[in-house]
């Protein structure tokens, strides 16, 4: 489009009939417009070509496996670089186009030189935008987060769905979207569950009676884990983590999975299977409330139950 406009503005006057003469001002304006469109065409061609090449490379990456860290690292870097390139290409193209217009460059220089207060105000207003842009570049190369990372942000658990120049989109487990400024991941702490590996350990708690068979529960836990493909075969453990007087035992089980979604499903599966097993084999292990009744000496001596007076 830019090329066609450049040709029309530059060559158009030469194809007019000889009896039609355009004013010199119009010819000069068309010449300037032709130069502007030529610069725009070059900038558009270079920017879109690089953008298309990066998109093609991204489409070739296979990120079907959640633990493929290499592919996710490269995808994050390429995606952020592509967005930065588009912005830089647009800015450079506009700046180059303005330089071919007589007086515009001098006008811009004099404007910023004479309007220091306005320039300061604009700079302060643009500070959040610039900080997010710089944070986006930091994320592209330091990569505290990557595409498809499992993270916990503001108490919400989800996956990194999109990393833009100014914001990050997190797909929450219930399909909601949490939009966070890019600078958040540079300035504030957050949890990244797949920073080095997608594998994760899940925990399950039961509150059982003091008569619960801990040893048998430990053996049953191993049996439950071996019966499902959700377990990755690495970590499995069961311990009494806490005791409460006249109440219950707190049993904690640990089991590892290949990724966060499987860890959640594994935790639910272990919890359900263990409760079902206790109900059938050891019903006395289920939690119960104990109460101790005490009578006064007067009641014992007279044979009268003091509770009858209540």
CATH number of 200-285: 3.30.70.100
Distance, in Å, from the CA atom of 81 to the CA atom of 261, rounded to the nearest integer, reads 30
Beta pairing partners, 179: 169
Domains of the chain, by residue range, sit at: 2-142, 150-192, 200-285
Give the pLDDT band (50/70/90) at residue 38.
confident
- CATH 1.10.287 given to domain 2-142: yes
Say how far residue 27 (Cα) sits from the centre of its chain. 54
Residues 6+ apart with CB under 8 A from 141: 77
What are the structure tokens assigned to 288, written together? 């119960």
Give the pLDDT band (50/70/90) at residue 17.
low
Of 295 and 80, the structure prediction assigns the larger pLDDT to 80
Q: How high is the pLDDT of residue 112? A: 41
Distance, in Å, from the CA atom of 2 to the CA atom of 96, rounded to the nearest integer, reads 14
Give the pLDDT band (50/70/90) at residue 234.
very high
Residue 160, pLDDT above cutoff 60: yes
CATH topology for 150-192 is SH3 type barrels. (2.30.30)
Pairing of strands 200-208, 150-153: unpaired
pLDDT cut 90: percent of the chain above it = 36
DSSP, res 246 = T
Residue 73, pLDDT above cutoff 80: no
Give the pLDDT band (50/70/90) at residue 9.
low
């Amino acid at each position: 489009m830019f090329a066609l406009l450049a040709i029309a503005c530059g060559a158009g006057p030469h194809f007019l009939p000889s009896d039609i003469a355009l004013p010199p001002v119009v010819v000069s304006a068309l010449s300037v417009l032709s130069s502007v469109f030529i610069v725009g065409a070059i900038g558009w061609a270079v920017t879109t070509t690089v953008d298309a090449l990066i998109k093609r490379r991204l489409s070739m990456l296979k990120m079907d496996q959640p633990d493929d860290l290499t592919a996710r690292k490269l995808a994050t870097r390429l995606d952020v670089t592509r967005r930065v390139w588009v912005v830089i290409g647009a800015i450079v193209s506009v700046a180059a186009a303005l330089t071919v217009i007589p007086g515009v460059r001098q006008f811009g220089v004099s404007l910023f030189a004479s309007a220091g207060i306005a320039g300061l105000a604009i700079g302060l207003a643009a500070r959040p935008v610039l900080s997010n842009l710089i944070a986006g570049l930091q994320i592209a190369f330091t990569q505290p987060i990557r595409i498809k990372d499992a993270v916990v942000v503001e108490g919400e658990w989800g996956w990194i769905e999109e990393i833009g120049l100014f914001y990050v989109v997190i797909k929450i487990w219930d399909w909601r979207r949490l939009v966070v400024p890019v600078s958040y991941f540079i300035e504030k702490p957050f949890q990244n569950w797949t920073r080095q590996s997608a594998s994760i350990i899940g925990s399950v708690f039961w509150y059982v009676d003091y008569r619960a068979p801990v040893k048998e529960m430990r053996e049953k836990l191993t049996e439950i884990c071996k019966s499902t493909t959700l377990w990755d075969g690495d970590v499995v453990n069961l311990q009494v983590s806490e005791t409460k007087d006249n109440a219950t035992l707190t049993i904690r089980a640990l089991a590892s999975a290949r990724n966060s979604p499987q860890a959640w499903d594994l935790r639910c599966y272990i919890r359900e299977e263990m409760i079902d097993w206790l109900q059938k084999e050891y019903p006395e292990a289920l939690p119960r409330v104990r109460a101790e009744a005490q009578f006064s000496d007067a009641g014992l001596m007279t044979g009268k139950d003091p509770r009858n007076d209540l």
